[in-house]
Structures are given as C-alpha cells and as structure tokens.
Amino acid sequence: MRRSAAERARAGIARLVAERHAGTHVLGASPYDHLPEALEEVLSSRARTNAADGMLYREALAEAAAELGMLVRRIPRKSDPLALAAEAMGVEVASVAALVAELGRAAGPPWRKDHETAAAAALWGLAPRIGPRG
C-alpha cells in the first residue's frame, strides 16, 4: 500500500509541477512523527489506526513534493492559519481575512469555512516565496 501511495503521489505532484508550475506544497502536520512499519503496531492503537490512512497519503505527497524540488510546508496542528499567514506576511490578521474573503468572492459558491482555512494556509505556505507584505 505504501508503494502504491508513493507512486500515485509522485505522479500527481509531477503533473502539478509540469502543468501548473507548482513550487510549494502546503499540508497539515501529521498527528505522529511516523507510522510504525508493522501493521500490528498500527492496529494496537485506536488513535494510530484512525490516523494511519491520512498519514500514509499525506507523507507520500510530502515526500513526492520534496523529491521534485518543491518547498514543503506543514501547517501546525490546531493552529490558526489566518494568524500564521498574517505573521508570515507581516500584516494584520484583518488584512489576511479580507484577502481570503476577496478570494472567496472571486471563486464563488460554494465558499465555506474549510475553503477559507485552505486559502489562509496557502498564503502562509507561500509567504517564504513571496516575502513579507508589510
């Protein structure tokens, strides 16, 4: 399963790099540093079992992105992406919130809370490439 995830992740990320010239990959931090190699160890913990699939694919995407030369940024768990983006960009949180709202209007419906969160996380992730905006 790991090999299949890695192959598919690499193919997908390679396509993004080729077609969209993507240079940064932003993803949420995994709940654990790593998954055990042995299935029995994963299954011995309900929390690990619940996290295993997401971690498998998240880590495969991160590894593929790094191998293809992308900047990989992991947004800390339980963080406020608006605040992180504001700090990284050198602006007030209200400025980031306004920019995210503007992105939502441009994108049109449905623009929900999870879209807002992803947009703020993307701004945070891109900040090292575009520099502060203060």
Same domain as 7, residue 69: yes
Same domain as 41, residue 17: yes
The answer to whether residues 33 and 90 touch, using CB atoms and an 8 Å cutoff, is no
Quote the CA–CA distance of 90 and 132 in Å, as a whole number.
Answer: 5
* Each residue's pLDDT tens digit, 18-51: 999 988 999 989 888 887 888 888 889 888 888 8
Mode of pairing for the β-strands spanning 71-75 and 24-28:
parallel
Same domain as 52, residue 88: no
The residue among 51, 75, 99 that closes a domain is 75
CA 48 from centre of chain: 20
Side chain identity at 82, as an amino acid letter? L
* Each residue's pLDDT tens digit, 49-77: 888 888 999 999 999 999 999 999 999 99
Identify the domain containing residue 28 by its residue range.
2-75
H/E stretch holding 93 reads: helix 93-107
Same domain as 66, residue 32: yes
pTM for the full predicted model:
0.78
Same domain as 124, residue 87: yes
Same domain as 87, residue 55: no
Q: How many domains does the chain have?
A: 2
